[in-house]
Amino acid sequence: MSAKNAFYAQSGGVTSVINASACGVIEAARKHPDKIGNVYAGRNGIIGALTEELIDTSQESDEAIAALKHTPSGGFGSCRFKLKSLEDNKREYERLIEVFKAHDIGYFFYNGGGDSADTCYKVSQLSEKMGYPVQAIHVPKTVDNDLPITDNCPGFGSVAKYVAVSTQEAALDVASMATTSTKVFVLEVMGRHAGWIAAAGGLAGKEEGDAPHIILFPEIPFKKREFFRKVRQCVNDYGYCVIVVSEGARFANGKFLADQGTRDAFGNAQLGGVASVVATMIRDTLGYKYHYAIADYLQRSARHIASDVDVRQAYAVGQKAVEFALQGKTAVMPVIKRISDKPYRWKIESAPLGRIANKEKMLPRRYITKDGFGITAAARRYLEPLIRGEDYPPYINGLPKYVTLKNAPVKPRLKTKFVV
């Protein structure tokens, strides 16, 4: 039996370590030329499969693929494109199978979060029904850290490190000027539904009075009176107040603080700008001078300060995805299992996609202090190992040396075009 080709695609918002997973997949596949032929990548994610815009990774040198491990963003391009349900748009899934069949693809590695896990699961089911079985393996990636079963998600550890370090450094700045200048600093971080990233900001504070003094989580309804009381107390006690706020912070009725009425491609409220909302509330109510910052893309692309643990785990799940496929597994995801906190030890296992797709893991209430404004010792025990270690990229002339791939196209074999 001749070796089947593999298809790899990146999905959703990219991270500083998603390319490390790509490196893991491609390097592992290259070790088994008798079982896996070429590894094709989707140009701009799953869209590349639908439009038959495939990238031939065999045209990349071993050195270029290895350099992906220290290069942020999506080396092959990613997209926010959610395939509809099989019932609503079976044609999209059939098109995927047609492309896979035309290019002799027998392995599907989809690197993303919850939506891509669902797509991967559906492709595995439909391919069987269509008589062209494809081994579909989901490779976990999300800065939101909200995939179930896995202890943590590749991409999160590095964002957590960036947010914790940024909070610590900005707090020193504010504290040094608070007597005559800024009293309140607000840092906005990602996290629509789950407060994992906001919680990571709490790692910056180790002693009573350390920043951040307040964390606003999506899981805890925002109450103005309690919030203003806490801000005033911090300024009175410490001379200043540092706040980390999740973009998904919301009122008790479920409305986002930053909901301006606009919607994204998936119909979700378009968030961003909650730092400005919170800062303005403080100024109007308490009169304090403020500054705010939005971490935005900086938090997820900061490869220069990536967590070594995160890099190693991102590579490992890519590598294990190939191993699981070669073992005959399908519709599974490599998950990280924590063995111990001290010393921090972990391993990779497989979990069925049926238990992962369309499910979210929220920040547990036991990780949030009783007043709702900070993290507990349990949260610290969970978070601290994930940000440990540094894995600096090589530098040249003072800047990181990142790789740009050739991304050589594969010649289309289907006559029909597909418009997304």
Do the beta carbons of residue 317 and residue 336 sit within 8 Å? yes
Q: How far apart are CA 298 and CA 162, in angstroms?
A: 9
Q: How far apart are CA 270 and CA 266, in angstroms?
A: 10
Q: How far apart are CA 193 and CA 219, in angstroms?
A: 7
Q: How far apart are CA 180 and CA 214, in angstroms?
A: 22
391 included as an active-site residue: no
Q: Choose the catalytic residue: 118, 144, 310, 391.
A: 144
Do the beta carbons of residue 186 and residue 277 sit within 8 Å? no
Q: Which residues are catalytic?
A: 144
